Amino acid sequence: MIHMIIRSVSFFLLSFIISCSSITTNDGFEYDFSDGNFKTLGSDGPYFYGEQYSGRNNYINYYPGNIPVILSIPHGGELVPLEISDRTYGVSVTDSNTIELGTSISDYMYENFNIRPYLIINNLKRTKMDANRDKVEAAQNNVFAERAFDEFHYYISSAREDIILNFGTGILFDIHGHGPNPDGFVDLRTWIGYLLSGNELDQNDKDLDFNISSNDTSIFNILSSSNHLLSDVIRGTNSLGSLFEIYGYSALPSSMSPSPEGMRYFSGGYNTVIYGTDSDYNFNAIQLEFPYPTIRDNQNSINTFAEAFASVIHDYFITYFNVDLF
């Protein structure tokens, strides 16, 4: 008799799930049991500056901007919905406070200069979806994680299209955080990734300029549209890293730290590749790996760095784009 009751209840629950397109459970999310019958990407558009747009279940947020800068934040989320099983392989560490960092940068620019970068945020914890990997590794066959992945990259692509239409070119800054090295050493430098390996950066300027093609970097658009040498752009006195140094934050590569010299360093991932190397678009991408101490450790550090970041980007655009963002 008990077995018959259990089978009856199970059949009822299964029938209920199948007959309903979605239910809301006690974890606060609406779960869609249509197995991927989602709205068409872009159906929430067109997208306007000053508005906020969200993907399904608010897993992804998009804030259109009004300057040729995109901030993407793939690893700062904390949402762990039941409908998405944990990823079984790949890196799963959260880049703590990177969402807070990106939003603070955007807010500082708006409050002081009435401008905002385009901002795309993945709110899912990295154990559920990694928005800086190819789709297979990122979502691992979960249709809801795949949908969030598609939304994240659709919003970035939409932002890129809008920037090219209105400004001609721009930059994606993919925001990350790095932690202590395996040996316990805490590197307080911001690691700037142009898709050049540590070994490549360890070359002297002459060899770097001779051996590395601009097409092998994520800033080929900057290099091809200027007279600057590669070594100048990535570690010269007006390089992004050197500008960080000027405003009080050590960086690698820069004129002060031209190469890793065998130390751990991240050169850029999936997002830097797909948005910085596509020759069909006049666009650039740079990965930024921020240390936790001095930049991400508390709101005061975040606010102080947001002011410096705005100044760095302002100076960088004047140097390489002849554009005054302020």
Q: Answer yes or no: CATH 3.40.50.970 is held by domain 43-326.
A: no
pLDDT for the residue numbered 254: 98
Q: What is the pLDDT of the chain when averaged over all its residues?
A: 90
* Window from 40-49, 183-192, 289-298 with minimum mean pLDDT: 183-192
pLDDT for the residue numbered 33: 45
Cβ count within 10 A of residue 276: 26
Across 144-150, average pLDDT = 97
pLDDT for the residue numbered 183: 73
Query: Does 63 have pLDDT greater than 80?
Result: yes
Cβ count within 10 A of residue 149: 26
Q: How far is CA 167 from the centre of its chain?
A: 21
Across 280-302, average pLDDT = 96
Alpha helices in 168-298 (DSSP H): 198-201, 205-211, 220-224, 230-235, 240-246, 270-276
pLDDT for the residue numbered 29: 55
pLDDT for the residue numbered 184: 76
For residue range 152-175, list pLDDT tens digits in order. Answer: 999 999 999 999 999 999 999 999
List the structure tokens of 21. 């397109």
Query: Does 19 have pLDDT greater than 80?
Result: no
Q: What's the whole-model pTM score?
A: 0.89
For residue range 93-127, list pLDDT tens digits in order. Answer: 999 999 999 999 999 999 999 999 999 999 999 99
Helices then strands, each counted (H, E), the chain: 11, 10
Q: Where are the domains of the chain?
A: 1-34, 43-326
Rounded distance between C-alpha atoms, residue 70 and residue 313, angstroms: 12
For residue range 177-235, list pLDDT tens digits in order. Answer: 998 887 778 899 999 999 999 999 999 999 999 999 999 999 999 998 888 999 999 99
Contact yes or no for 312/326 (Cβ under 8 A) = no
Residue 14 makes CB contacts below 8 A (sequence gap 6+) with: none
